[in-house]
Chain A
Amino acid sequence: MEAVEKAKEAVEEVAEKKAPTRAEMFQMLEQHIKEVREEPPIEHNPENVLEVHNLIKYFPIKTGLFSRVTGYVRAVDGVSFNIKRGTTMGLVGESGCGKTTVGKTILRLNDKTAGQVLFNGTEIHDLPREEMRKLRPKIQMIFQDPYSSLSPRLPIAEIIGEAVREHNVVPQDELDDYLDKVMKQCGLQPYHKDRYPHEFSGGQRQRICIARSIALKPDFIICDEPVSALDVSIQAQIINLMMDLQQELGLTYLFISHDLSVVEHISDTIGVMYLGNMVEYASKEQIFANPLHPYTEALFSAIPIPDPDYKMNRVILQGSIPSPANPPSGCKFHTRCSKCMGICSECAPETKEVEPGHFVACHLYD
């Protein structure tokens, strides 16, 4: 009899744990945000341009007539990484996993919910507006869509030069020559200056975007899928251009993409994101040689190999990515994981350094 009752209690407990109510979830999240906010500041390593620690970006879900916050879309749910000066970090993951949100939150185009973003040791999100504006040239962004990211009513010289003039990057009388130089660096001709964006092809537009960014002499550029809107031959040109510029100017990139082959080509380190979480983070060599997380494995198995005889050992993921508004409990990937264990659905895995510089968040390596 006792055993039966105990078993019943256990079942009930499990049921309760598995299905917390919406309000309880909300309470838990609020608590979590509070905890992260109270974390002590991380120590700055001068080698790193950017240090991100436990970055959280929740978008509130508002309901009812008075727009009361009743829940959160957990777009970025605790992401940590560092980028060393002069290197490129690739950020990969399938669509909707929060890559772009990470980029925009780092740039403070979105306000973070919690966590820390240190740029050269400065917490960006704590800067007053005007100081932030002055810091902007140092962190730049290249957008995914080269068509909508250029103001259609300004000539190219104005698009590139406007912010240069605004921030006095070069003296006023040198501006013209400086723009010529930057444009040449980006593979544009000086006579393009008076043309309008609609007169350019996609690749040229992306060059303009790059020129706009590097004209401000930034330390760090966030590239938000800069080549996904371009055809493959142009992609290569742009990637090569970016790599050339990196060498020339000593730039640091955060390269957001879902195209693994491009990331492999450009990155020094790679982070893999799934549903707002960084599931694996390592150097390019380590991660390609030894993908530890089942999701990374599945992702890398999808890289096409240009050899018709090669038999691909695909790991096929079942289902689609869950909603970040109501993600699965425990490890968010457990619903689709081929190596799912009992613990996976109950407890979220900690990020562990499995080998030096190779971080993974998976219960397999507990």
Chain B
Amino acid sequence: MSKDKSKVTNAAKTEEAPQEQMKLDDARRVKVLSPGMLVFKRFIRNKLAVAGIIILAVMFVYSFLGPIFSPYSRAQIFTKEIEEPGDYATGKFNVDSRFLGETSTSLQSGVLKALSSQKKGNKYVLTEGQEIPFATKSGHYTLKVINPDESKPSCAIYGSAHVATCTNGEITFSDPEYVDDAILAFITADGEAGGRETELDYNGTPISVEISKIERKYYMTTNEPVAVSSYNIYTAMLGKVAELQSDTEFMHSVSTAINSGETSVSYDNKNYAISGDAANGFVLSGEDGNPLFNIIREYRPGKINVTVEEEGKDPEMKEVDFNSQISDPAAFVEAVGTAIANGESSFNFEEHDYAIESAETEYHVTMEDGQLAMTVANSFDPVESKYDNLSSDYNFVINAEQAITDGASSFEYDGETYSLVNNGNDFSVMNAAGDEILLASDIAYGPARNGIELTVDFIKKLQEAMRSNESAFTFVNQYGDETSATINIVNGNYYVQTMQKTSLIDARSPVTSKHWLGTDINGMDVFTRLMYGGRVSLIVGFVVVFFEIIIGVVVGGISGYFGGVVDTILMRFVELFNAIPFYPMLIILGSVMDNLHTDAITRLMLTMVILGILGWTGIARIVRGQILSLREQDFMIATEATGIRTSRRIFRHLIPNVMPLLIVNATAGLGSVILTEATLGFLGLGVKYPMASWGSIINQVNDMQVMKTAWWIWIPAGLLILLTVLGFNFVGDGLRDAFDPKMKR
């Protein structure tokens, strides 16, 4: 009723208004605004505050809505494609022979294969003394079981000589370096002449290795002679003979003649006759028929390496006389003598084969040796990848190589016949069906990296180019594209380069229409990254300040309102928190999280919690102080005197008086929390990849190159922090002024 009346009177008044004289205190002069509206009105009259609000609004829209419209995702890495010459393949004239031989590794795998063939289930079924033959790429070996343990047998490996021992499933080479060093020497030997001897150093003991070359193949024998048989020449006391005896050239030709079974030798235009036999000795007679010398065969044992095994001790290598290693040296000498006398090149003694080689004036007796390695001059490349197994088959390659060396047009291997076609500079290996399967040439080549498959066309074009010294050619690559290639020759290697598309991370790209603020050092779009960074920075700010205010108001409020002992205890507690060193704590936490590899989200949460926990004390003190002073104000006593409820006293009278201070502190706090977070990010302790924060974006300025050349990475992030903090401060100031009713309207 009363309201209706007042409306009527108001309406009546407004009608009369033109005639009525306005008074200074006329009720109609005053626009009645609600307190909230008044605050708002005062706030929007403050230009700085409005500027702050606009800045913050822009920041929020940019950070929270921006990512929705951004075409790029948070941690999208951009790449750029460039064409640049890249190595495609290499070619080389096969001047040095290529090694296809044995290594200790391949021997080991052979042994293991041989052993596992005797396995039933998980157990070895072996008997002592059992011999297991096995082969590797380069030779045949025998495994002799020493201890037929079910789970850990030990075996000796025999090639032609004792090579290695296999104990407890582990292979111990009696002389692994021997094998490998010999191979090394073999490879490095230039092989110009056959019969080259190389000395290898093994533990200070020289071991001699002979390398022989047959046509284009090189064979290596690894045994030293176990015995040497030679002829000594005894002189008769005849005048001119002494001269002859000291003439080594004469002696040499005599020895050669005897070795080759001739009955006469001519030297210095004089003929000498040889009579007698190997068993009883030879007699050299002059032209006049007078005997000049008695020639008697001499036998001396060589030195050999023997592995001495003693129980409880590691096997040991010793150099011993060969004679001490055979049961009956006299019988061995006889056997050698017989074999030489019979002109045999090998003999068997005590279950071992020995070879006899005539070396000028001497016969060298060696134990029959195996072939440990071979080199071939040609490279055999499969035309298609399905023929890979043939090109890597040692024996197949030997056969093919032999056939090429022999000039044969076909060869047999493994029951099949393969034919060879001479293409002038290279050979094609055809199978029985007439398909080209391998290409053998003195040019070796290979792709520069995995993924490049060399086509036959490329191989042929490359060979052509290499032979005709051309520096460029075109070929059809594996995808059927015509490609041009250039050849660079470095140290006899032909490097084939083609233009290739390379994908590079588009890092530090300057400002373009595609990247409005360029890209950072990881190739991510800075403009988009800043949006996500803003989200994190703003969320951190708000959450942390929210925490701070909740804890601060509760603690400060309780402390101030109740006072006394509660106040004392809580304020000591606040001082305790204030005494925690802020940055060291954060830095320690950061490195702990680094060590624990905490994921990005947990890291963010923990950082917020820690910032909140360490930061509430200021607000608690402010609230307490404010409430303490308000509590004693007359208007609070008046509320008690008028009998107003406690809850109303707190929420209508105390809180509104604390609010402005709280709001100002909270907004200023927001700015400082964002700054703290940025500082942590800059120190590399804050948010981690793939998340971003403005601080961690600025962190990239640690790179001097970025600081000097890539302003777009760090300047915008810095500006955003600056603007946001300014915005919060402006709004905070504006709110404080607006909340303060003493401000002029």
Chain A interface (Cβ < 8 Å from any Cβ of B): 107, 109, 132-137, 140-141, 143, 145, 148-155, 162-163, 166-167, 173-174, 176-177, 189-191, 194-196, 198, 209, 212, 216
Contact = CB atoms under 8 A, between A and B. Distances in A.
B634 A190 contact: no
A194 B638 contact: no
A170 to B, nearest CB: 12
B152 interface: no
B27 A149 contact: no
A155 B35 contact: yes
Contacts of B32: 191, 194
A192 to B, nearest CB: 9
B578 to A, nearest CB: 24
B645 interface: yes
A140 B634 CA distance: 14
B643 A150 contact: no
Given A134-B643, A140-B641, A148 B25 contact: no
B657 A153 contact: yes
Interface residues of B, number: 27
Interface in B641-688: 641-645, 648, 652-653, 656-657
Contacts of A189: 25, 27
Contact of A198 (B2, B637, B648, B741): B741
A224 B656 CA distance: 27
Given A140-B641, A143-B637, A148-B633, A166 B30 contact: no
Contact of A174 (B2, B33, B642, B653): B2
Nearest to A139: B641
A198 B2 CA distance: 30
B642 A216 contact: yes
A137 B640 CA distance: 10
Contacts of B633: 148-149
B646 to A, nearest CB: 9
B741 A212 contact: no
B644 A141 contact: no
A194 B742 CA distance: 14
Given A151-B635, A191-B30, A194-B32, A109 B741 contact: no
Contacts of A216: 642
Contacts of A132: 643
A136 B742 contact: no
Q: At the interface, is chain B mostly helix, strand, loop or mixed?
A: helix
A155 B35 CA distance: 8
A154 B635 CA distance: 11
A164 to B, nearest CB: 9
A97 B687 CA distance: 66
Contact of B741 (A141, A152, A191): A152
Contacts of B641: 107, 109, 136, 140-141
30 contacts: A107-B641, A133-B645, A135-B643, A140-B642, A141-B638, A143-B638, A145-B634, A148-B633, A148-B635, A150-B635, A150-B638, A151-B653, A152-B741, A152-B742, A153-B653, A153-B657, A154-B652, A155-B35, A162-B644, A162-B648, A162-B652, A163-B639, A167-B643, A173-B2, A190-B27, A191-B26, A191-B32, A194-B33, A198-B741, A198-B742
Contact of B638 (A167, A173, A177, A212): A212
A135 B643 CA distance: 8
Nearest to B638: A149
B741 A137 contact: no
A109 B30 CA distance: 38
B670 to A, nearest CB: 23
Contact of A153 (B2, B640, B643, B656): B656
Nearest to A194: B32
Contacts of B657: 151-153
Contact of A149 (B35, B635, B648): B635
Contacts of B2: 173-174, 176-177
A176 B645 CA distance: 21
Contacts of A136: 641-643
Contacts of A174: 2
Nearest to B633: A148
Contacts of A135: 643
Given A134-B643, A177-B2, A109 B652 contact: no
Contacts of A195: 30
A176 B656 CA distance: 24
Nearest to A148: B634
A154 B2 CA distance: 25
A10 to B, nearest CB: 49
Contacts of B656: 153-154
A174 B653 CA distance: 24
A166 B644 contact: yes
Interface in B564-618: none
B30 A196 contact: no
A163 B638 CA distance: 10
Nearest to A137: B643
A167 B2 CA distance: 22
B664 to A, nearest CB: 15
Nearest to A141: B641
A186 B594 CA distance: 71
Contacts of A190: 27
Contacts of A148: 633-635
A208 B656 CA distance: 20
Contacts of B643: 132-137, 163, 166-167
Nearest to A160: B642
Contacts of A107: 641
The 8 closest A-B pairs by CB, nearest first: A136-B643, A149-B634, A163-B642, A191-B27, A148-B634, A153-B656, A151-B635, A133-B643
A136 B30 CA distance: 34
B658 to A, nearest CB: 10
Contacts of B652: 154, 162
B654 to A, nearest CB: 10
Nearest to A104: B637
Contacts of A155: 35
Given A153-B741, A176-B2, A163 B30 contact: no
A337 B329 CA distance: 151
Nearest to B743: A198
Contacts of A191: 25-27, 30, 32
A143 B640 contact: no
A209 B33 CA distance: 23
Interface in B1-56: 2, 25-27, 30, 32-33, 35
B2 to A, nearest CB: 5
Contacts of B35: 153, 155
B415 to A, nearest CB: 108
A196 B741 contact: yes
Interface in B311-365: none
A141 B633 CA distance: 15
Given A174-B2, A191-B27, 7 more contacts: A133-B643, A153-B35, A153-B656, A153-B741, A167-B643, A191-B30, A196-B741
B16 to A, nearest CB: 18
B637 to A, nearest CB: 6
A170 B30 CA distance: 27
